[in-house]
Amino acid sequence: MERIKAGIIGMGFIGVSHVEAIRRIGFAQLVAVADANPALAQAKASEYDIPKCYATVEELLADPEISVVHNCTPNNQHLEINEKIIRSGKHVFSEKPLGMTSVETRKMLDLLAANPRIVGGVNFNYRMNPLVQDMKNRVRKGDIGTVNLVHGSYLQDWLLYDTDYNWRVEPEVSGLSRCVADIGSHWMDIVQTVTGLKIVEVCSDLFIAHPVRKKPRGQVETFSINTNADFEPKKVSTEDYGAVLIKFDSGAHGVFHVSQISAGRKCHFNFEIDGTTSSFYWNQETADHMWQGSRDGYNSQIMRNPNLMTPESRPYSYLAAGHPEGWNDAMKNNVYAMYKFIADGRDMRKDKPDFAVFEDGHYITRLVEAILESNAERRWVTIS
Ligand SMILES: NC(=O)c1ccc[n+]([C@@H]2O[C@H](COP(=O)([O-])OP(=O)(O)OC[C@H]3O[C@@H](n4cnc5c(N)ncnc54)[C@H](O)[C@@H]3O)[C@@H](O)[C@H]2O)c1
C-alpha cells in the first residue's frame, strides 16, 4: 500500500503530538512541517528527523507529495488555513475548536461540501479512548437502559494565577469563549458521541476570576510555568469557569462545569451517564478504567481488557490488559481513523466516520455560542 504523506502546520504544544500519532501509523508518513516561527519549525524538524521544513503555509501546500495536512495553529488561524488546505485539494485534519464563530465554521462546511472528495476531520481526540468507545457501544446496546442524566466536568489549574498567560486569554486569538470553547468543547463532544444524543438547550453561568491578567512581554508556551517578571496589565473578557445545565434531544437532562483555575486539577475530564437501569463513569486521568454503577448489585470497576471489550471497540485497543493506554493512544486512534477512512477510499457523503467531522465541529461551535448567549441574557437558549 502506498503511504499517505502528511504535513503539519503549527509545531507548538499539540503539533508534536500529531507528529507522534502520524509516526505510529504504518501506512502514513510525515514529510513536512511549517510554523510561523521558522526557528521552532527547524528545531522540531531536526529533533524528529522530518525531511522538509517550509517557511510558509503556501510552500507546504504547494508540495505535491503531501495529501493530508494537519492544522495545529491557534484558533484564529483555523478558518484561513483550513480554507487554503481545502482549496489546495488536500485532506484537512484541523485542531479544535474548528473556528472562532459559527459563521467561520459554516464557511468551512460549505467549502468542504463543494469539495466532496476531500476528507475533513477535527481533533476531538478524547472520544477515541478505547473505553470511551466501549462505553459508547455498550450504551447503544442498551446496557444502562435509557439515558436519563449526563453530568461531569473538565477541570484544570494552569491559569489559576493572574500571572498565568497564554494566547487563549486573548479573544482576538482564541475567540469570545475560553474555558468552554477550549475544554468544554471536548466534554460536549464526548457525551454526544457516547450517548448518540444531541445537546439542544443550554443555560449557563460563566465567571472571570481575573478581570485583569499580567501579560508577560514574550511568548508563553501552553501549560508552561511563566517565569517572566516583565509584565503589562491586560483586561480579560473570557471565562475562567463555566457551569452549564443542558438538555438533550431525547429529553435527557445534564450538567457540566469547566475550569482553568481549580488548584491541583490538571486534566480532570470526567463524565457519568445515568441510565434507567445502570450508570457508567469515566475519567481521562485514569483512562484505562471505567465504573459501572448498579442499584441492586455490586458496582463494578472495569479495567480495559481487549478480550472483553465489545467487538466494535476492540480495534481501538492495542495493548493487552494491565498495560495502560491513555491520552497519546486516543490521539493516535483519532489520526488513524481519519487516515484509514482516506486509505479505504470512503466517501464523507455516504459514510459517517468515528472521528469528528466538520459538521460536529460546527455544531459544537454553535453550542459554545448558545452558552455565551445564555450567560449574557441569564436564560435558557435553544439551538434550533
Ligand atoms: N485536541 C487537543 O487535545 C488539543 C490540545 C491542545 C491544543 N489544541 C488545539 O491546538 C491548537 C494549537 O494549540 P497549542 O496549544 O499547540 O498552541 P501553541 O501556541 O503551543 O502552538 C501553535 C503554533 O502555531 C504556530 N502558528 C501560529 N500562527 C501560524 C500560522 N499562521 N502559520 C503557521 N504556524 C502558525 C505558532 O508559531 C505555534 O508554534 C489550538 O487550536 C488548540 O485549541 C488541541
Q: Are residues 87 and 153 in the same domain?
A: no
pTM recorded for the entire structure: 0.97
Give 222's pLDDT tier (boundaries 50, 70, 90): low
Cell numbers placing 307: 478480550
What percent of the chain stands above pLDDT 70?
A: 97
One domain, residues 217 and 95? no
Same structural domain, 244 and 107: no
Q: Is the CB of residue 95 below 6 angstroms from any atom belonging to ligand 1?
A: yes
Beta carbon of 166 within 6 Å of any ligand 1 atom: no
Same domain, 313 and 220: yes
Task: Say if residue 96's pLDDT is above 70.
Answer: yes
> Does 222 sit in the ligand 1 pocket, CB within 6 Å?
yes
pLDDT of res. 207: 98
Domain enclosing residue 113, as ranges: 4-126+336-356
CA 252 vs CA 135, 149, 151, 244: distances in Å: 18, 6, 11, 14
- Position 330 in a domain: no
Q: Do the Cβ atoms of 75 and 97 come closer than 8 Å?
A: yes
Q: What is the mean pLDDT of the chain?
A: 96
Give the number of domains in the chain: 2
| Residue 1 pLDDT | 73
Spell 5-19 as b/e; 16+ CB within 10 A means b: bbbbbbbbebbbbbb
CB of residue 14 inside a 6 A radius of ligand 1: yes
| pLDDT number for residue 332 | 98
d(CA 158, CA 101): 25
Q: Is residue 52 part of a domain?
A: yes
In a domain, 331, yes or no: no
298 with 161, same domain: the answer is: yes
Least confident of 168-177, 213-222, 239-248, 318-327: 213-222
Pocket test of ligand 1: the residue of 40, 57, 84, 95 to mutate, having most ligand atoms within 8 Å of its CB, is 95
Distance 346 CA to ligand 1 centre (A): 29
Peptide bond into 216 cis (omega under 30): no
Pocket test residue of 47, 56, 72 for ligand 1, highest count of atoms within 8 A of CB: 72
CATH of the domain at 263: 3.30.360.10
Residue bearing the CA closest to ligand 1, atom 7: 14
Do 155 and 83 share a domain, yes or no?
no
State residue 229's pLDDT score: 66
**Distances in whole angstroms, Cα of residue 59 to Cα of each of 55, 65, 85:** 7, 12, 11
Half-sphere exposure of 221 (CA within 13 A, CB side): 11
DSSP state for residue 95 in the 8-state scheme: P
* Residue 332: C-alpha distances to residues 14, 254, 339, 351, 365 (Å): 13, 30, 10, 21, 24
